[in-house]
Structure 1
Amino acid sequence: MDTPPVSSIVPGTPPASEPLRDSFQQLCDVIARLRSPTGCPWDRVQTLATIKPFTLEETYELLEAIDSNDNDAICEELGDVLLQVVLDAQIAADEGRFTIIDVIARLTRKMVERHPHVFGDAQANTPEEVKQNWERIKAQEKEKRHRTSILDGIPIDLPALARAARLSKKAARVGYDFPHRNMLFDKLNEEVRELTDELFPGQPVEIIPAGVEGDPVPDEPIDDPERFKRVEAEIGDVLFVIANLARRWNVNPEEALRNSNAKFVRRFRAIEAAVQAAGKTLDEVSLLEMEEYYQAAKKRE
């Protein structure tokens, strides 16, 4: 059975059952073969624990593809993420835990249960009402799992900035939050002062303008382990407040930092291109020249 062109598919239309069944079965057959005694030596020895880093890596590659808006890349990376799901489920089946059918059935049941306004009699006419229903049902599920804290259920392996925002959001739902979001700037100043006190104990901080040139001053490591821990803790506190600020303005801090990383890469590559066009190397230009190239790239953007 031929599948219709993507452009002709009506939104909300599921894929045709026969090609879906055949293609998914073929994928499951391939993964099972790789895990079989006559399959791939690498795939045979994988466990749920050893495959974790690849799952995380593929997820980030999918995010990068989505940022690029490249349909071919997005399609390929979605396939790689799906591979991780099917491979994890096959590993679990080989260990006698559960199968991919259990995974699909449980996910389907959860989606139906969490959308009673679509599959039941509940009412939800706005995205906010949908969100409230979702959280209420999640809370009921949490009680069944005997979770002891409102913070339970947030994955420890989430990127730290994203997890910070999730933790503070959970706490805010029960009232543990600044009444006014502008108060967070006072908290940020407080944390920066505490960090400064640890970095420069008992001495005033010398503020040097960023545009001033001079000989490079080497960074000095913190030799005292206890002081290092205190500095690390204060930097963590600053980042936690930043994540809170992002949350209160409905910004995903992880996505914001990803975008800033990408922006820095673009502009630094513009520096490299400008230096190369001038017939020089990076070692042959000054910091001030590189900054001029950076600002030119920024202006073009």
Structure 2
Amino acid sequence: MNSRSKQLEAFNRLLDIMDELREKCPWDQKQTLESLRHLTIEETYELADAILENDLGEIKKELGDVLLHIVFYAKIGSEKKAFDIADVANTISDKLISRHPHIYGDVKVKNEEEVKQNWEKLKLKEGNSSVLEGVPKSLPALVKANRIQDKVAGVGFDWEEPQQVWEKVQEELSELNEEIKNQHTENIEKEFGDVLFSMINYARFIGVNPENALEKTNKKFIKRFQYLENAAKKEGKELSNMSLPEMDVHWENSKEFYK
């Protein structure tokens, strides 16, 4: 791996390139904080995909794209005389030091859970009016639910045992089923949301990231369905003309390849 001096040299090279592009490239000159926002979100999702695929080469590439965006935002900030890349780095460094008194102070912690609890308490001392203040409004609902539950657990608002959470899942499923039986349309969505929320909470208790778990299932389903499509083509058939039992044969075969 590269030495620290080589790492700093590479980062300095990126900063120099950013300066030059901002000065000479018509596209880069036109970009604003707002115009980059949706591109940053896209790059973050591409990084997330690479991580799930455990493709280290692709992760390196996507990290570079994300880093470029950070440097780009900082460049625009410096032009506005609001902040530069040094301010960005120093701000996060200061935060890390203040949020880790067990490393940079005299606070003692027993485990990861106590670190998380101290983190949330420190955020409140820093001026946050609510533990949930830092949850982005634009997060996808599944990710947001997981973050909400994780944050309130950080200040002790949590179940004690996984079995208690599983019983809550069963309770919410029963309530949903009751609303479906009674055809209370206005309540079905509400109860379905409660089921999802409780399942996400249970996932946290058994050490599963629900977003990752669902995305892995999405990817598995896509691969299996594409296997089914290809198998049908080899037989000269269209899926729309096949019966469910015919399709199910290929679907079951796909499980041998994509588990």
Structure with the larger helix share: 2
Flag structure 1 segments of 5+ consecutive residues without an equivalent. Answer: 1-5, 10-14, 204-226
Task: Give the paired residue count.
Answer: 258
What does residue 19 of structure 2 align with?
Answer: 32
CA contact (8 A) 1:184 1:245 kept: yes
Q: Does 1:16 align with 2:1?
A: no
What does residue 86 of structure 2 align with?
Answer: 101
Q: Secondary structure at the match of 1:112?
A: helix
> Structure 1 80/171 Cα, relative in aligned 2: closer, same or farther at 3 Å?
same
What does residue 231 of structure 2 align with?
Answer: 274
What does residue 170 of structure 1 align with?
Answer: 151
Q: CA deviation at 1:89?
A: 1.4
Match of 1:139 among 107, 111, 121: 121
> Structure 1 135/178 Cα, relative in aligned 2: closer, same or farther at 3 Å?
closer
Q: Secondary structure at the match of 1:151?
A: helix
> Structure 1 114/134 Cα, relative in aligned 2: closer, same or farther at 3 Å?
farther
Per-residue CA deviation, residues 51-89 of structure 1 (Å, 9 max, x unaligned), is: 222222211211211222323211111101111111121
Q: Does 1:87 align with 2:72?
A: yes
CA contact (8 A) 1:188 1:241 kept: yes
Structure with higher Rg: it is: 1
Q: CA deviation at 1:241?
A: 1.4
Match of 1:184 among 153, 162, 165: 165
> Structure 1 178/119 Cα, relative in aligned 2: closer, same or farther at 3 Å?
closer
> Structure 1 173/69 Cα, relative in aligned 2: closer, same or farther at 3 Å?
closer
Percent identity, please: 37
Q: Secondary structure at the match of 1:262?
A: helix
Q: Secondary structure at the match of 1:182?
A: helix
Q: Using the alignment, how far apart are the partners of 1:150 and 1:111 within structure 2?
A: 18
| 1:1-301 pair list within 5 angstroms | 6=1, 15-17=3-5, 19-36=6-23, 38-41=24-27, 43-120=28-105, 122-123=107-108, 129-133=111-115, 135-145=117-127, 147-196=128-177, 201-202=182-183, 230-300=187-257, 301=259
Per-residue CA deviation, residues 222-258 of structure 1 (Å, 9 max, x unaligned), is: xxxxx56x54433322211111111121211111111
Q: CA deviation at 1:194?
A: 4.3
Moved segments of 4+, more than 6 Å: none
Per-residue CA deviation, residues 108-154 of structure 1 (Å, 9 max, x unaligned), is: 23333444454555555xxx635523541442243222x22222222
Flag structure 2 segments of 5+ consecutive residues without an equivalent. Answer: none
The code of the aligned residue for 2:115 comes to N
Q: Using the alignment, how far apart are the partners of 1:89 and 1:69 within structure 2?
A: 30
Q: Using the alignment, how far apart are the partners of 1:266 and 1:251 within structure 2?
A: 22
Q: Using the alignment, how far apart are the partners of 2:119 and 2:160 within structure 1?
A: 27
The farther-off stretch of 130-139 and 275-284 is 130-139
Q: Calculate the TM-score normalised by the size of structure 1.
A: 0.74
